[in-house]
Amino acid sequence: MITSVTTRRVFHAVYALLGLFLASLLSGLSGLSGLSGVVSGQAPGSGGSVTVLSRDGRRPLPAVEVQGHSMVGLDDLANLFQLTIREDAAPRAVTVTYKDRTIVLTPDQALASMSGRLVSLPAPLTRQGRRWLVPVEFAGVALPLIYDTKLDYRPDSRLLIVGDMRVPHVVALYDDTGNILRVTLGITPKAMTSIVQDQNRLLVRIDADALDPALLPPPQQNFLTGIRATEPNTIQMDLGSRFASYRSSTPISTGAAAQLTIDLLPAAGESTSAGPAPAPPEPNASNLPVFGGARSSIRTIVLDPGHGGDDSGVKGTAGILEKDVALAVARRAKSVIEGRLGIRVLLTRDEDTKPDADTRAAVANNNKADLFISLHANGSPRESAQGALIYYLNLDHSGEEARRQSQADREVLSIYGGGSREFALLDWELAQAAHVQESAAFAGLIEQKMRAMANVSAVSVQKAPMRGLTAANMPAVLIEMGYLSNPAEEKTLSSAEFQSGVAQAIAEAVIAFRDYLEQAPR
Amino acid sequence: MTKRRDILVYAVLAGVLVAGLIVLFFVGPRWLSTPGPVQPGAAAGAAEARKIRARLFFVGPDGERLSPVEQEVPLGDGPAEQARRIVEAELSAPPTTYASPIPAGTKLKTIFLTPKGEAYLDLSPEVRTNHPGGTTNEVLTVYALVNALTWNLPAITGVQILVDGKEVDTLAGHLDLRRPLEQDLTYANGQSSPQ
């Protein structure tokens, strides 16, 4: 130990002497960055800036791009957040202090250390001239550990939000049917909205401190020439020449988000032929699959009893199998819906077999079903878990892209008997993307009816990336009717009374959904 | 003769000393700046003994949601190794008041990261064969792994689960595993995204 310390002292003395001789040499050896402590790699490029949003307003935080990462200066962060920056020579580290709390950063390490806790960063601390740079994410994942005000970094919009501000993320989706342009604003977290028309602009005011917008340009300029966010909390829609009026829906809540639908309409007397590529009336048109066209009332429903064959699904402690419960409820629901509503009901399986997910969706798609309902029973590691869950598809980024693409990719094809028809080209794997909004609405109706008809106290709607729903080209939900892992619910799930109650609840939800479709703006 | 030999020996020793000092000037700082136990940047050998605090996700008392649990996890040498350490901790037994969302016998075969920030997690077949089924169970299994990786390693933006080296549709018939899944804290108690 003594030898080690002595040796270190000798080495440090030698470094000091040699450093005097070699300082000028090192300054010329910029390529040997490991010697100088400068981790540059490449010349920093322009990284734009990050907008810091607080109660005091907006201010830019300059950023530069280094090796593909957006970096900000520690000195700039220090000025913004009253931080103290200190550089330690040995071991080489930079400390960032706020009040009595400190973060340690080390060059070459994409980590930040705070009281023994390590936080990963996308890039290491980097030196640029006399400045130290950190990836901008540092402000969102590391700085909050020592700062006494909430910090929220939104990478997509490059917003750094300081304090408890209401800054919902707002996305715009479009459905262009030719004669109407439907604009759906997704607002997360949900907030109250109001719409006013101001000459050739439609202004959607959102009850928030500021907005975090992700607004794609409209697909065509006839109804809408542009859309943008204006400070502090307004979405401005610039109206096109075909716009005459609008109608809007009551915002639909889907979990933490809200969806506001606004239909931009042409003048009442305007011929529908003014729209691009109208579908000519053909004698056999009703037999053709219609994608994105006018919706008729519900004529066909596909019920999908989950699992089957060698896949039993969840097995209850008393031996009740999920596949049997699902099939029993599907048969009861088919009987109730066909008997009461006169709607054709198909089952993806009517015996103990196991169709794969795509085969199940194909039954619905090939029969032009208007609803797809998958029936399951649930399982949890805890016996105490109870209640029903209604799932609809959760779209991730690629799903949102597919939804947008499905509205953009349209093709006019010749059809049998002459004439042509416009088709939306859908990816089979993501056909559900175009129906998520209606699926969420149907899930909400199932939830209501399950409470009322099936005497289920705990019912909730959730969204998840469900494999069995992705390819369904119609509103689709998956119902987990209860927990077979809960002995009491296992008994309930196997009872005829409960199964009939669920069948009645589904039938009632179908009726309510039919009303919803007829009243919803097209 | 002896004097001349001594001079020669001293000259050689001096030359070796100077050469050694120059080499040490370039290499030495890395030895000398080896940080203490809480400082990042340890050499690989020391990294084995060092820990980070990672946020893991186990099944909470309601059996429907994941609960975050802070645990010490060995420091990994690089992102892929750190990801492996985190997944191994997630596959291990939870603290006594929690239940594991991972089917018994599940092992991590390998993990690799892409430059796009996607992690591919190859698990042993037990993750399917021993899975008890049900959407809730499947959600808990999948998002315990996805959230543990994306929470602790923000550079990982998506996680795809493979089984025995192959892509799979689902683990138990519900969640779509054909592409990387993003972090989703909907199924975790009291969580908000760190980003």
To the question of pTM greater than 0.90 for the whole model, the response is no
Cis peptide before A107, with omega less than 30 degrees from 0?
no
> A290 vs A180, A265, A400, CA distance in Å?
17, 22, 21
For chain B, state the CA radius of gyration: 24
A158: left (phi over 0), alpha (psi -120 to 50) or beta: left
Measure the CA dihedral A156/A162/A165/A166, to 10°.
Answer: 0
* Contact criterion met (CB below 8 Å) for B71 and B53: yes
User: How far apart, in whole angstroms, are the C-alpha atoms of residue A479 and residue A371?
Assistant: 13
> Mean pLDDT over all residues of chain A?
79
Nearest to A379 among B39, B41, B132 (CB): B132
User: How far apart, in whole angstroms, are the C-alpha atoms of residue A61 and residue B30?
Assistant: 34
Q: State residue B55's pLDDT score.
A: 96
User: How far apart, in whole angstroms, are the C-alpha atoms of residue A426 and residue A340?
Assistant: 34
List chain A residues with CB under 8 Å of B61.
Answer: 382, 384
Nearest to A380 among B41, B63, B153 (CB): B63
CA–CA–CA angle A266, A269, A271 (5° rounding): 75
Give yes or no for B168 touching A (CB within 8 A).
no
Q: What is the 3-state secondary structure (H, E, C) of chain B?
A: CHHHHHHHHHHHHHHHHHHHHHHHHHHHHHHHCCCCCCCCCCCHHHHHHCEEEEEEEEECCCCCCEEEEEEEEECCCCHHHHHHHHHHHHHCCCCCCCECCCCCCCCEEEEEECCCCEEEEEECCHHHHCCCCCHHHHHHHHHHHHHHHHHHCCCCCEEEEEECCEECCCCCCCECCCCCECCCHHHECCCCCCC
User: How far apart, in whole angstroms, are the C-alpha atoms of residue A248 and residue A264?
Assistant: 9
User: How far apart, in whole angstroms, are the C-alpha atoms of residue A69 and residue B95?
Assistant: 38
Provide the shortest C-alpha distance from residue B51 to chain A (in Å): 8
* Residues B134, A485: C-beta atoms closer than 8 Å: yes
In chain B, the residue whose alpha carbon lies closest to the alpha carbon of A471 is: B176
In chain B, the residue whose alpha carbon lies closest to the alpha carbon of A8 is: B32
Nearest to B26 among A35, A429, A466 (CB): A35
Q: Per-residue pLDDT for A489 more than 90?
A: yes
User: How far apart, in whole angstroms, are the C-alpha atoms of residue B133 and residue B140?
Assistant: 11
* Residues B176, A140: C-beta atoms closer than 8 Å: no
List chain A residues with CB under 8 Å of B53.
Answer: 116-118
Q: State residue A507's pLDDT score.
A: 94
Q: State residue A118's pLDDT score.
A: 74
Residue written as tokens 């959904």?
A: A513
Give yes or no for B74 touching A (CB within 8 A).
no
For chain A, state the CA radius of gyration: 30
Average pLDDT over residues A287-292: 34
> B160 vs A288, A398, B59, B164, B170, CA distance in Å?
38, 14, 21, 13, 11
In chain B, the residue whose alpha carbon lies closest to the alpha carbon of A468 is: B174
Provide the shortest C-alpha distance from residue B2 to chain A (in Å): 31
Give yes or no for A10 touching B (CB within 8 A).
no
Which of A315-319, A425-429, B26-30 has the lowest average pLDDT?
B26-30
List chain B residues with CB under 8 Å of A384.
Answer: 61-63
Query: Cα-flanking dihedrals φ and ψ of residue A94, to 5°?
Result: -125, 130
Q: pLDDT class for A5, splitting at 50, 70, 90?
A: very low
Show Cβ contacts of residue A24 under 8 Å, excluding neighbours closer than 6 positions: none
Question: Mind listing the pLDDT tens digit for each residue in A492-506?
Answer: 999 999 999 999 999
List chain A residues with CB under 8 Å of B153.
Answer: 120
* Contact criterion met (CB below 8 Å) for A502 and A329: yes
Give yes or no for B20 touching A (CB within 8 A).
no
Residues forming beta bridges with residue B188, ordered by sequence position: B66
Show Cβ contacts of residue B16 under 8 Å, excluding neighbours closer than 6 positions: none
* Residues A382, B175: C-beta atoms closer than 8 Å: no
Q: State residue A170's pLDDT score.
A: 86
Average pLDDT over residues A355-379: 95
In chain A, the residue whose alpha carbon lies closest to the alpha carbon of B58 is: A381
Q: Which two tokens stand for residue B72?
A: 């010490």
Cis peptide before A232, with omega less than 30 degrees from 0?
yes
Q: Which two tokens stand for residue A410?
A: 């349209």
> Which one-letter amino acid corresponds to residue A239?
L
* Residues B53, A12: C-beta atoms closer than 8 Å: no
* Contact criterion met (CB below 8 Å) for A203 and A211: no
Average pLDDT over residues A84-100: 86
User: How far apart, in whole angstroms, are the C-alpha atoms of residue A230 and residue A340?
Assistant: 52
Name the nearest CA neighbour of B159 among B190, B194, B116: B116
CA–CA–CA angle A513, A516, A518 (5° rounding): 115
Give yes or no for B76 touching A (CB within 8 A).
no
Name the nearest CA neighbour of A407 among A429, A424, A428, A431: A424
Q: What is the pLDDT along chain B (195 residues), one digit of tens a residue?
A: 456 777 777 877 777 777 666 655 444 433 333 333 333 334 445 545 789 999 999 999 999 999 999 999 999 989 999 999 999 999 999 999 999 999 999 999 999 999 999 999 999 999 999 999 999 999 999 999 999 999 999 999 999 999 999 999 999 999 999 999 999 988 887 654 443
Q: pLDDT class for A18, splitting at 50, 70, 90?
A: very low
DSSP label at A428?
G
Give yes or no for A442 touching B (CB within 8 A).
no
Q: Per-residue pLDDT for A91 more than 70?
A: no
In chain B, the residue whose alpha carbon lies closest to the alpha carbon of A396 is: B182
List chain A residues with CB under 8 Å of B152.
Answer: 120
User: How far apart, in whole angstroms, are the C-alpha atoms of residue B162 and residue B106?
Assistant: 12
Query: Cα-flanking dihedrals φ and ψ of residue A202, to 5°?
Result: -110, 125
Nearest to A382 among B63, B139, B152 (CB): B63
* Contact criterion met (CB below 8 Å) for A440 and A307: no
Provide the shortest C-alpha distance from residue B47 to chain A (in Å): 13
Q: State residue A517's pLDDT score.
A: 86
Give yes or no for A38 touching B (CB within 8 A).
no
Instruction: Count the Cβ atoms, other than its own, within 10 Å of residue A148.
Output: 8
Nearest to B195 among A141, A315, A382 (CB): A141
* Residues A312, B137: C-beta atoms closer than 8 Å: no
User: How far apart, in whole angstroms, are the C-alpha atoms of residue A171 and residue A329?
Assistant: 39
A&B contacts, CB < 8 Å: 181
Q: What is the 3-state secondary structure (H, E, C) of A283-345?
A: CCHHHCCCCCCCCCCCCEEEEEECCECCECCCECCCCCEHHHHHHHHHHHHHHHHHHHHCCEE
Question: Mind listing the pLDDT tens digit for each residue in A435-445?
Answer: 998 999 999 99
Average pLDDT over residues A12-34: 36
Of these ranges, A25-34, A63-72, A246-255, A391-400, the one predicted with the greatest mean pLDDT is: A63-72
Q: Which two tokens stand for residue B80?
A: 């892929």
